[in-house]
Amino acid sequence: MRRSACLLALGLAACGGPDRETFLRDANAVCRDRAASQGALAGLPREELLPAQTRVYEQGLAQMRALEPPDDYRHAHEEWVEAAAAEVTAWKRYAAGPENAAARERVVTAFEETTKVAKRMGLTTCDS
């Protein structure tokens, strides 16, 4: 009986990453961390703010990529990471020329897409 319980536990642990609740908790934590980091930048002059925000977005993306989703969230996780990567790319273009209205609009659109994907996943703290 003990051996069967151990084998079952090993089998469950080897099946596709953490459970759903753990994944969602960790993914929401990534968003909370990013929001807190952005909040900490308040009051910086623009020439310091844009590069600092770029680092925050890049760190958030790295944290998203590092998450191990359960099997039933793999596709959604990939979609979320892709949307966040597009957001970072759009942000970098904006940060390089903040007077460019089209670049700013691309950032807003990318943020909205990332937020939509996060909400579809059931994330509650990811409102870019």
- CATH of residue 108: 1.20.1420.10
Q: What is the pTM of this model?
A: 0.81
- On whether residue 73 sits in a domain, the answer given is yes
- On whether residue 3 sits in a domain, the answer given is no
- On whether residue 128 sits in a domain, the answer given is no
Model confidence at 2, pLDDT cuts 50, 70, 90, reads very low
- On whether residue 8 sits in a domain, the answer given is no
| pLDDT for position 128 | 55
- Cβ(71)–Cβ(16) below 8 Å: yes
Please, where are the H alpha helices in 41-100? 46-66, 74-96
Q: How many domains does the chain have?
A: 1
- Cβ(31)–Cβ(123) below 8 Å: yes
User: Mean pLDDT, to the nearest integer, of 44-65?
Assistant: 94
- Cβ(86)–Cβ(110) below 8 Å: yes
Long-range pairs of 98-102 with CB within 8 A, sequence gap ≥ 24: 98/46, 98/50
Model confidence at 5, pLDDT cuts 50, 70, 90, reads very low
Model confidence at 17, pLDDT cuts 50, 70, 90, reads low
Residue 46 or residue 65, greater confidence: 65
Model confidence at 9, pLDDT cuts 50, 70, 90, reads very low
- On whether residue 13 sits in a domain, the answer given is no
User: Mean pLDDT, to the nearest integer, of 69-88?
Assistant: 95
- On whether residue 32 sits in a domain, the answer given is yes
Structural domain containing residue 61: 18-121
User: Mean pLDDT, to the nearest integer, of 9-33?
Assistant: 77
